[in-house]
Amino acid sequence: MTLVDSLISRTADRNAGRIAIRYRDKALSYGELSQSVTATARALRALELERQDRVAVFLEKRFETISALFGAATAGGVFVPVNPLLKPEQIGHILRDCNVRVLITSTPRFEPLRDVLAQCPDLRHVVLVDPAPTPAFAHAPLIAWNDFLAGATTTPTHPVIDQDMAAILYTSGSTGKPKGVVLSHRNLVAGAASVCQYLENTPEDRILSVLPLSFDYGLSQLTTAFTVGASVTLLNYLLPRDVIVAVARGGITGLAAVPPLWIQLAELDWPAAAAQSLRYLTNSGGRMPRPTVDALRRKLPHTKAFLMYGLTEAFRSTYLPPDELDRRPDSIGKAIPNAEIMVVRPDGTPSAPNEPGELVHRGVHVSLGYWNDPDKTAERFKPVPGQPAGIPVTEIAVWSGDTVRADEDGFLYFVGRRDEMIKTSGYRVSPTEVEEVVYATGLVGEVVAVGAPHPVLGECVVVIATPPAGKPWQADALLAACKRDLPAFMVPAAIHRRDTLPRNANGKIDRAQLAKEHAVTAPQGGI
């Protein structure tokens, strides 16, 4: 049995001096990281963290972030990485939704959260990683990181098996607030092992961590490295040029990014040191445009490109081997090791070659469902199609909601999404979440948010709204409110005014028609 936190201790036992993490001009060996993770776990137990209690980590990437995530798992708890780009109300929803007991953050990040944290009745402790003074917080004790570690207990950590929860990652749903995808130790460990297999990772790899750790693709850069005893360089992304500089300076061998970043990186010059060290690159979170792939291959002729498809509910699903790029540049490949990917009709029967169908993922990577949401879980997690009738216990698969087709050789091609999610900058954005913020301004009558094609972002958010009854249209104020209350990746690229919104036969706003209209409308302001 392998637990996610043992990925670190296992390498520490074999080679304690090997570098695990680099951050700025400092490094932690596996032995030092293992000790830090253990100390954090004991400190959490001293706070009376119970088995499977949730620990939220709201930090930029730094040494304490890694210790907090894996320390929570070591203690027998569940870590909840919170995207640093989220706004206070969104963070409050996450903390309330999964009943977070301990929040680990910094003073600058804590201060804007005071009001929303006061509305989190299950929160018992707030740990601040920096020593900066801050006024007392009446709703939960504030503990400085050093004092937190100094209070560590020798109380044994809670017993855990690989089917237990290890993490909850929040991803936007097609309606409403973000949903928490519950991942077991087994999910995380098996996923990392699959990726290591086809990327052929070794202890000599140096992986650059650019993506948020709240994103399963970003978190997997850590678990992949720790699986083989490789090192991870932490980078809090600033500009595309910073990524290339980090690759060159750090002798980076593996780089994962989403299409918007790859598009920008493909336009820049890569120094010889970067081109020489980078062994592979990976893409997920959306389809990478073919011109971008071609440009990267020209600039990085010795770098293997792995194009992948995945969903948080089942980690990674497919990858295209680099030697297939020339023959199938638009393909998302075949199933990753130890997974089966099916393409099925609505009745669950297999689609014929080149017949579009829904992508269904079965296997060890299938997560435990959505936290505290049985209805949404039942919609997405359903029995594997075609199971033998004699098996009394039903196996559950993830029905992705995405339409794909498989060619005669079994290579998959993405067709489209069946739901209304907007996939922008590698994020899945809920239209309803954007609409709620727009409605709260009081500056609109009705509003719909849809996705429109964008040459860099993949899709961008477009808002279509009517003026409030009897009041003037205030587009500038509306956009300013969106910038204030939404993360940058959710801010509309265009806001369009309409006097009325189309409706379908049921009297509901016709989202499909609006999405179709704006699919051919370039997001050039339109305010």
Q: What is the DSSP track for 189-236?
A: HHHHHHHHHHHT--TT-EEEE-S-TTSHHHHHHHHHHHHHT-EEEE--
Assess contact for 47 and 81: CB atoms under 8 A: no
Confidence of residue 504 (pLDDT cuts 50, 70, 90): low
Write down the pLDDT at residue 7: 97
Write down the pLDDT at residue 133: 77
Write down the pLDDT at residue 176: 58
Write down the pLDDT at residue 526: 45
Report percent pLDDT > 70 for the chain: 96
Q: Read off the pLDDT of each residue in 251-273 and give the average, rounded to a whole number.
A: 92
The token duo for 520 is: 């051919």
Q: Read off the pLDDT of each residue in 324-331 and give the average, rounded to a whole number.
A: 93
Write down the pLDDT at residue 445: 86
What is the Cα Rg of the chain in Å?
23
Given a cut of 70, whether residue 231 has pLDDT beyond it is: yes
Q: Which residues, in sequence order, are bridge partners of residue 399?
A: 360
CA distance 134 to 143: 11
Assess contact for 425 and 489: CB atoms under 8 A: yes
Given a cut of 90, whether residue 379 has pLDDT beyond it is: yes
Burial 93-125 (b: 16+ CB within 10 A, else e): bbbbbbebbbbbbbeebbeebeebbeebeebbb
Write down the pLDDT at residue 184: 98
Write down the pLDDT at residue 520: 61
Stretch among 251-265, 467-481, 512-526 having the lowest mean pLDDT: 512-526
Write down the pLDDT at residue 527: 47
Assess contact for 293 and 307: CB atoms under 8 A: yes
Stretch among 12-16, 169-173, 205-209, 412-416 having the lowest mean pLDDT: 169-173
Assess contact for 365 and 187: CB atoms under 8 A: yes
Q: Read off the pLDDT of each residue in 77-96 and give the average, rounded to a whole number.
A: 94
Given a cut of 50, whether residue 444 has pLDDT beyond it is: yes
Confidence of residue 508 (pLDDT cuts 50, 70, 90): low
The token duo for 443 is: 């500056």
Q: Read off the pLDDT of each residue in 206-216 and give the average, rounded to a whole number.
A: 95
Starting at the earlier edge strand, list the strands of the sheet with 254-257.
26-29, 19-23, 231-234, 206-209, 254-257, 280-283, 304-310, 316-320, 334-335
Given a cut of 90, whether residue 264 has pLDDT beyond it is: no
Q: What is the mean pLDDT of the chain?
A: 92
Report percent pLDDT > 90 for the chain: 74
3-class DSSP state of 432: helix
Given a cut of 60, whether residue 61 has pLDDT beyond it is: yes
The pLDDT tens digits of the residues spanning 400-423 come to: 998 899 999 999 998 876 677 788
pTM for this model (two decimals): 0.86
Q: Read off the pLDDT of each residue in 105-131 and give the average, rounded to a whole number.
A: 95
Helix ranges (H only) for 53-154 are: 63-74, 88-97, 107-110, 114-117, 145-150
What H or E segment, with its residue span, contains residue 248? helix 240-250
Assess contact for 459 and 423: CB atoms under 8 A: yes
CA distance 3 to 74: 9
Write down the pLDDT at residue 426: 86
